[in-house]
């Protein structure tokens, strides 16, 4: 049984991870952690997600002594300015669901990973990982006159644009085809309604051909199940920075 602590439990992703973990025989949620000052601190998690959870929401990562792994579902500023150092002191594996880190933030995450196992991904879906593998294959074969565009769609409450997944896709494309740089691939971000997430990659050449690849989700379920599987996996790893490439190997 892997004992997990969910940081950002009052948010959409954190709340759903706690809800879905209840059905997993291999996982127990032992801490639900909110931002200090959030109005749900001290309340029961069941008030937020329903069901029979008897977890009481706390506001301190340092109080979470008896867990095997943390998952951070907050935002980049909260992670870097408040949570990162507390995880380092806790000395437990950390799964980072949070997105939109700068290069400077990444240096801190890489440093943290020298002391503990750290998992970072903008998308926990295994199908999305396989979608990117397909794109890596396709982009190696495109002609020099092919323009590449990424269009991503998300709900209207998403704070960051472009999405972490769109950046992952662009990085994979430039790594797979040395002719391309990030500047060659535009990302168009659409925000609206309750779209859970869609990523479209368009290869348009000047010989009247367009090839389009698309991945979409209609709920957060694929992210949540992927995140739960990753937590069970990361507790068995050595110190280092891991991604979905390592998990899906
Ligand atoms: N990797 C993936 O597959 C994946 C999938 C979906 C989302 N995401 C990413 O996950 C993050 C969360 O997404 P979301 O949709 O759940 O956002 P959200 O609904 O805005 O939730 C974020 C939560 O974090 C809380 N928070 C902020 N600072 C905190 C702190 N220092 N300690 C504890 N909690 C804190 C916020 O509480 P307050 O309201 O009190 O500030 C809020 O409830 C985003 O970065 C998003 O891009 C990743």
* pLDDT one-digit tens code per residue, 24-68: 999 999 999 999 999 999 999 999 999 888 999 999 999 999 999
Beta bridge partners of 6: 32, 71
Contact 153, 190 (CB under 8 A): yes
Please give the pLDDT value at position 80: 98
Measured from the Cβ of residue 16, the count of other Cβ atoms closer than 10 Å reads 19
- What number does the ligand 1 atom closest to the CA of 33 have? 33
Given 92, 154, 199, 215, which residue is catalytic?
Answer: 154
Contact 92, 132 (CB under 8 A): no
Residues with CB under 6 A from ligand 1: 7-8, 10-14, 33-35, 38, 73-75, 78, 82-83, 97-99, 121-124, 160, 164, 223
- Residue 208 Cα to ligand 1 midpoint, Å, equals 43
Please give the pLDDT value at position 82: 97
Q: What is the largest CA-CA distance in the chain?
A: 62
- What number does the ligand 1 atom closest to the CA of 125 have? 3
Please give the pLDDT value at position 98: 96
Please give the pLDDT value at position 241: 98
Is residue 12 part of the annotated active site? The answer reads no
- What is the β-pairing status of strands 117-120 and 185-191? unpaired
Domain boundaries, the chain: 2-120+221-247, 126-217
Within 8 A by CB and 6+ apart from 124, the residues are 97, 222, 223, 224, 225, 226, 227, 229, 230, 244
- Residue 9 Cα to ligand 1 midpoint, Å, equals 8
- What is the distance of C-alpha 186 from the center of its chain? 22
Mean pLDDT, the chain, integer: 96
Which stretches of the chain score pLDDT less than 70?
none
Q: Tell me if the domain spanning 126-217 has CATH number 3.30.70.600.
A: no
Please give the pLDDT value at position 52: 86
Residue 21 is encoded by which pair of tokens? 């973990």
Positive or negative torsion for Cα 231, 85, 98, 128: negative
Please give the pLDDT value at position 53: 87
Is residue 111 part of the annotated active site? The answer reads no
Identify the CATH assignment for 2-120+221-247 out of 3.40.640.10, 3.60.21.10, 3.30.420.40, 3.40.50.720: 3.40.50.720
In this structure, the residue with its CA closest to atom 29 of ligand 1 is: 35
Residue 108 is encoded by which pair of tokens? 């801190």
Please give the pLDDT value at position 66: 96
> CA dist 95 to 2, 156, 158, 226, Å?
13, 25, 20, 11
In this structure, the residue with its CA closest to atom 47 of ligand 1 is: 99
- Residue 242 Cα to ligand 1 midpoint, Å, equals 20
- Residue 185 Cα to ligand 1 midpoint, Å, equals 28
């Amino acid at each position: 049984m892997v004992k997990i602590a969910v940081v950002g439990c009052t948010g959409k992703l954190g709340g759903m991870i706690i809800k879905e973990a209840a059905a997993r025989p291999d996982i127990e949620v032992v801490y639900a952690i909110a931002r200090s000052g959030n109005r749900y601190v001290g309340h029961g998690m069941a008030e937020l997600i329903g069901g029979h959870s008897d977890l009481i929401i706390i506001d301190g990562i340092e109080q979470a002594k008896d867990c095997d792994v943390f998952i951070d579902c907050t935002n980049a500023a909260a992670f870097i300015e408040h949570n990162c150092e507390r995880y380092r002191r806790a000395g437990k594996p950390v799964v980072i669901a949070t997105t939109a880190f700068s290069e400077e933030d990444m240096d801190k995450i890489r440093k943290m990973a020298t002391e503990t196992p750290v998992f970072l991904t903008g998308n926990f879906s295994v199908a999305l990982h396989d979608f990117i593998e397909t794109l890596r294959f396709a982009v190696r074969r495109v002609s020099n006159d092919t323009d590449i565009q990424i269009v991503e769609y998300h709900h209207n409450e998403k704070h960051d644009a472009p999405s972490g997944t769109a950046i992952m896709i662009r990085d994979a494309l430039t790594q797979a085809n040395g002719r391309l740089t990030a500047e060659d691939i535009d990302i168009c971000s659409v925000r609206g309604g309750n779209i859970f997430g869609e990523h479209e990659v368009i290869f348009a050449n000047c010989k009247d051909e367009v090839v389009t690849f698309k991945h979409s989700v209609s709920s957060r379920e694929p992210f949540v199940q992927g995140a739960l599987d990753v937590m069970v996996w990361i507790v068995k790893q050595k110190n280092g920075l891991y991604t979905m490439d390592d998990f899906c190997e």
